[in-house]
Every structure is written in C-alpha cells, then in structure tokens.
Structure 1
Amino acid sequence: MSQLKPAFKFQDNHPPVSDFEQEVLAGLRATPKTLPPKFFYDEVGSGLFDAICRTPEYYPTRTESAIIRDNVQAIARCLGRGCLLVEPGSGNSAKVRDLLAALEPHSYMPMDISKAFLQKEARKLADEFPWLDVYAVCSDFTVSMDIPIHPEGVHRVAFFPGSSIGNFEPADAAAFMVNIRDMVGDDGGLLIGVDMKKDAGILNAAYNDASGVTAAFNLNLLTRINSELGADFDLDAFAHHAFYNEHLGRIEMHLKSLKAQTVHVAGQPVSFAEGETIHTENSYKYSREEFAELAARAGFRLDACWQDADGLFSLFYFAAE
C-alpha cells in the first residue's frame, strides 16, 4: 500500500445531458414502441432497483457478490496487485469493496454519469479506504472511456460487474469492449460479470418477483413521464410484462397496454392498441463459449472464470491480446 498521503480527485468530463422529452417521444412514435432503460433510474427507480436486488428471486447480485468474496485472493492474483482499477458505471461502488483490500490497487477510478451521486459515493469510499488513491471521473462511459491519469509502469484493469453487459445488444457489447480494450492497453485486463443461460423458469421468476417490485420499477417509468412531461398515463391501464425469449437468448421487459387508448405526452397524442407494448429493456444471457467469443472479437483472451456451484452466474477475467 502507498506510504504517501492518498489522493482524492474529481474530474468532470461534462457528459451530455439526455433530452428526456425528445427521446421519450421518439421512442413512443417508433414501431415497435420503445423507451431507453437509462430513464428507469430517477430517485424512485434507483431505490426500486436496489429493492429488486434483495428479492429472493433475483439471484444475480447476491450470487456475483458471493463469487467475489469466495475467490477474492485468486481474483487479486489474476488481476495483479498494484493495478489502476477503473470501474465504468460504478454507482455506489458496492462490489469493488470486496476486492480492494486483497487487490491493493495503485488507485481506483470510478466512472459515472451522475455527478452529485458520484462525488458523494467516491468520497465515502475514499474515507472507508484511507490508504487508497481515488480519482473519480464524471463521464458517459458508453461514449468515452478517456481517463485522466496514466501512471508509468502501472497496468490498467476495468471492472464491470452486475451483468450490465447484458443490457447491450451483442454488437454494441462487442463495441463497448473494444473501447475498454483501447483504454486498458496491451498489458491490461477486464474483470466482468455475466449472467449465464439457464432454465427459463429461473429467469422468468427473477424478472417477475412475487412481491411485485420489478413491476413497480417498470411502471415507475410511466410515473416519471407523467411527472416530468405532463403526460396522462393511467398506470392501471398498463401491466408489467417480462419473459425469456429463448430464441434471442434474452429477457425482455415490456409495458403492455390493457386496452385501446390514447395517452398525451408533452401535449402530443400517442395511441395504443389493446395488447400493444412499450419495450423497456433487454437483458442478454450467455454461455461461457458465447461470451468468450464475443470478448475475443474485442481483442481479449479468456484467462480465468469463476462460477457459483449452480452455474447461474460467471465472473470472467480477460487479458488484452
């Protein structure tokens, strides 16, 4: 661990702000209708997602955390102590905490688009690990992976947990990993969490919890549109609809119109047929071979893989090649 006084630095790359009204109207005018999943995460939505992660049916969060805890020394040896650890979309940096003591990185760089939230969470982590240099970067990591420091002789490793890669279309996932490969360089690596293909019953239950938290999370998107765009969605006229599309290897989340109706959004009419849906999110699932092939197209070689005993979830380490 560093003997020098640890640093805490914050860099604002001024990521572009989404035009909520424009993107919502464009999605609702499309065929089929869609809404970007990034808009789930207002304050209420973020709280509901945290609650989803605690439901008994939703296995990915607790399974990945257990994989990290159970294999932390092996993971640290694989990544190499003293690395620059970069976490795109760091959120509250919950899972990295299980890695830091074992890994003893040169420094930790959380990246997130939410400036105030990132500042708060990064400062909190720096206080918890007083020996650690923390360089927080406010950035849209899907657009730019530019990082402000490149310490000489220190290899870079990206950490992308939570099966977030599954929210990308496969071609976009490969393109995203190309950006990571460019960022970490020739001696870098990628530690990434991936949800595995499995029995459809387990997958369908995970996105249709009995307590209705995922349904509330999905419907909250309409509540947000009502509040921020003056829309008149009747939440009782829409239902959460999530299912595993086995042919495409993905969970699909939709909001289904329960009747023929017209909704007004920002003063614009939007018509729905009975049974018509708004497609709100995908979550792709992979086999080990499928994901290794995807990563290989981005310039990564599979070096290690850790799984739970039931093979529900995998944590992969890829080395740049």
Structure 2
Amino acid sequence: MRAMFGMAPASVRDDIEDALDGAANDADFTAQERAILKNVLGLHDVRVADVMVPRADIISVSAEASLGELLALFRTAGHSRLPVYGETLDDPRGMVHIRDFVDFLASEPSFGLVERATADPTHQKAAEIPELRMDMPLSAAHILRPVLFAPPSMPALDLLVKMQASHTHMALVIDEYGGTDGLVSIEDVVEAIVGDIEDEHDEEDRPGIAAAGDGAFIVEARASLEDVSEAVGFDFSALADAEDVDTIGGLLTAVAGRVPGRGEIVAGPGEFEFEVLDADPRRIKRVKIQPRAAPLRRGPAARVEPEGGAGAEPRRPPDH
C-alpha cells in the first residue's frame, strides 16, 4: 500500500508502533504491555544523560572516610552501592558495595566479630561495640570495586549491555573535560523501559511536599513536577515541557533564568509564586509555593519576574 502511493516501505519498528497504536482499544495488549513495548522501541533514542542522577544529587563517600562514617552513610542513603572518591568527585576511586562491607566486618579477625559470635551466639554486650575498629579508613579495608565510565551522549542501551557483560551495575558519567557529570545505575536504565521501580525505602525517601496553610506548600526542590502538581492542584507540565525540566527546582531555575538565592521570591506560572527557603550557589534545595496574593514576608526577600518578562528589576515588598 505504501509503495502504491510512492511512500517508503515501513520498517519493522514502524509496523510494531502502528500495531500498538491500533491495539489501544482492544484486548491484544494491556496498557502496561503497550507502555513497556513503546519504551523498548524508543530506547534507541535515550542517552545516558537522560537517565543519570545529576552530580548535585550523587551520594558518595571519601576513600579516607572511616568505616564508622561509611556505616552511617549506608544507613541514611538507602543504597546498596556508593561511589568512592579521592579528594573530590572528579577523582573517582571506584565503588563500595554494602555486602562487601558487611563481609569485611564479619570476617576480619581484628574486628573480633567471628570469635564473639562463636563464643556467645545469643548475646553481644553493648560494651563490646567500641572494640570494633570503626575508625579504620575505607581505603585500608581494600573492598573497593571498579565502576564503569560513560559519556553523557552514550546510548543508554549500549551502557546496559556493557553493564551486563562486565557484571558492574554502576557507571559514572564523565564530561569532555574528565569531570564527573552524573551517575547511572542499572536500575536507572531498566526504569527507562519498565517505569519507576520502587522498593521498601523509596516511599519514605520521596522528596517532601507539605501543606503550610493558606494554600501554601513547602517542597523539596528535587520533588518531581508530577508529584507537586498533584499536591498543589495546578499543572506545571506545560511550562515544564517548554523548559525541558522534571523537578520543581529545575522549573524555578528555568523561570528565573539563574539559580535564585535564599529568600528570593520568583513569580511563577498561574496564580503562584515561589519563595526560596534554602539554596546554595549551585542549586535550590527547598521552596515555598504560595498563592501570588499571599502576604509577602518582610526581610531580604525580593520578587523576581521570569527572565525576559515585564519588570526586569526585582521588586521589593511594599512597606507597611
């Protein structure tokens, strides 16, 4: 049929996509099956940069951190693997797996865990805990594993194949200057196919969104626009699509045209404005979303119009 009208022959990919679109209203595929199949077909367009955790959100540990510090970080991070660096994250040394860490604690004679467990398997006195040499630096434990390195432009599918072949589930994304740009786990790539994979800890680790009264909300900047839209009752997606951002912090930075400082108030879409509650020079950390008509807090806060909008000069709250 396509040849009859002088059209190029359809590829197998096009045929499958047409079949999926045509099956939208029948029972050939469930909605979940259609979504996964479409994600598989589109995976050739997904790059490492699309699925990576940005540098600012990487939880990592210094090679000279003590084992006690590593234990505390594993407890709070909620990850089984952590990247290890030298002086900075641009000097990666590898990664540490929690299983290797626990095996080291259990088998190292100087820690005395095996002897105590054999002598008294049902009881361990609290007074014995200080005997563990938790001040030992991580580098001295020799439990680091190598990580993969990938450029941001690398196809995510190629990285997945490389991870499978090397049995390495973590890769650092390195920019053209050799600096660390982000981190990708095998789970990040798989989620591009099957959607979000939540474990027992994901719900409690989800960025906070809390009502603050009078229609205002206190939001962690890394909260997704989908979650914020659902909580606030306003769809931020139209502006987000234009700016190519996924989080409320990214949207605020795009609207302001820079990283706003703590205390600044930025006019947002609709009837809302954003007050930056916490930030550093590189990123926003916490934001207050409030109706535009809400009374502004006295102090150093200054209203900032979106970049290119009317009123380029910041406006300060009126004196009362």
TM-score bracket relative to the smaller structure? under 0.3
Question: Which of the pair is proportionally richer in strand?
Answer: 1
TM-score (ref. length: structure 2): 0.23
* Higher RCO (C-alpha under 8 Å, 6+ residues apart): 1
